Amino acid sequence: MSKSSVISQGCSIGIIAGSGDLFSLILAEALNRQLYPVMVSFNDLPLYQTGPHLRTSLGKIGEILDFFKIHNVEHIIFAGKVPRPSLTSLGFDATGIKWMQKLGIKAFSGDDALLKGITELLSNEGFQIISPKDFLPKLILKPGVYTSAHPNATDIQDIARSQVVLNALSSADVGQACIVHEGLVLGVEAIEGTQNLIERCYALKRNPVGGVLVKIAKKNQTTLVDLPTIGVETITSVHKCGLNGIAISANTTQVLDFNQVINLCNQHSLFLKVIED
């Protein structure tokens, strides 16, 4: 566990709530460690009664910073993917405008460049950013096959093909997931997210059964925010799509609800292979 993830009992921890189940896991872990959660969200997540909760827009940077500082927050963790709205809908306050000027081209670049810029600005404000993989280290897996089913020779080739594609796109800050079927790239994840990627690739398959989903972190991606993630919903979608299994990057891709994920994979004869990236 890194030093940044060790916080004394009773201290505040700022949680920026995103989509998916990661938020509830991080909140539960914070409470388990007897920390005081101070939460900010930008969507329709329910208001939790476990601590102060600010619902605002992403452009209200001054409001967010003041909220954290009032509640003595020194450590911040991003819990799930924060939707990226259009610039016209952000509703910047004065501090938000200053941040946009400091971010410059990063504000219009890919997600990773933008998130790196935001974490740097938060650090400049005196906050320490905690990586989810340090706060919840059990979500990250080591290389190996974790299921009863194993990838066949074609699956191995499709996994390798996906890695080549995703690594090539890393420099453009695009895509953490790719679906390949018999050597053909059916789709690469863009702004629509993994679930929509899987759904749109179903109609593109040559055969009803076969193909793999690969999720790996981008090269030089910050591990502080928006790590690749799979969970029960991913497994259900992969099964519906008729894919043979999933390959994810070791030490960077998070697996939510591990036991349920493995049980569901085994139930549907899907493989989960963790690969060196």
Q: Count the residues in the chain.
A: 277
Q: Average of pLDDT values for 189-210?
A: 89
3-state secondary structure at position 161: helix
Give the dihedral sign, CA 118/217/172/185: negative
Residue 247 CA to residue 145 CA, distance in Å, equals 9
pLDDT band at 169 (very low <50, low <70, confident <90, very high): confident
Task: Report the pLDDT value the prediction gives residue 50, as an integer from 0 to 100.
Answer: 75
Give the max Cα distance, the chain.
58
Q: Are residues 267 and 160 in the same domain?
A: yes
Task: Report the pLDDT value the prediction gives residue 26, as an integer from 0 to 100.
Answer: 92
What's the CATH number where 247 sits? 3.40.140.80
Range of the domain at 192: 140-275
Q: Which of 101-105, 106-110, 255-259 has the largest mean confidence?
A: 255-259
Q: Are residues 26 and 53 in the same domain?
A: yes
Q: Are residues 159 and 268 in the same domain?
A: yes
Q: Are residues 48 and 103 in the same domain?
A: yes
Q: Are residues 96 and 211 in the same domain?
A: no
Phi, psi of 60 (to 5 degrees): -85, 60
Q: Are residues 188 and 248 in the same domain?
A: yes
Q: Are residues 64 and 147 in the same domain?
A: no
Domain limit, last residue, from 135, 159, 177: 135
pLDDT at 1 over 70: no
Residue 78 CA to residue 39 CA, distance in Å, equals 10
What's the CATH number where 128 sits? 3.40.50.20
Number of domains in the chain: 2
Q: Average of pLDDT values for 191-198?
A: 88
Domain limit, last residue, from 135, 158, 175: 135
Residue 70 CA to residue 208 CA, distance in Å, equals 56
b/e code 240-268 from CB counts within 10 Å (16+ = b) = ebebbbbbbbbbbbbbbbeeebbebbeeb
pTM above 0.95, yes or no: no
pLDDT at 251 over 80: yes
Q: Are residues 113 and 209 in the same domain?
A: no
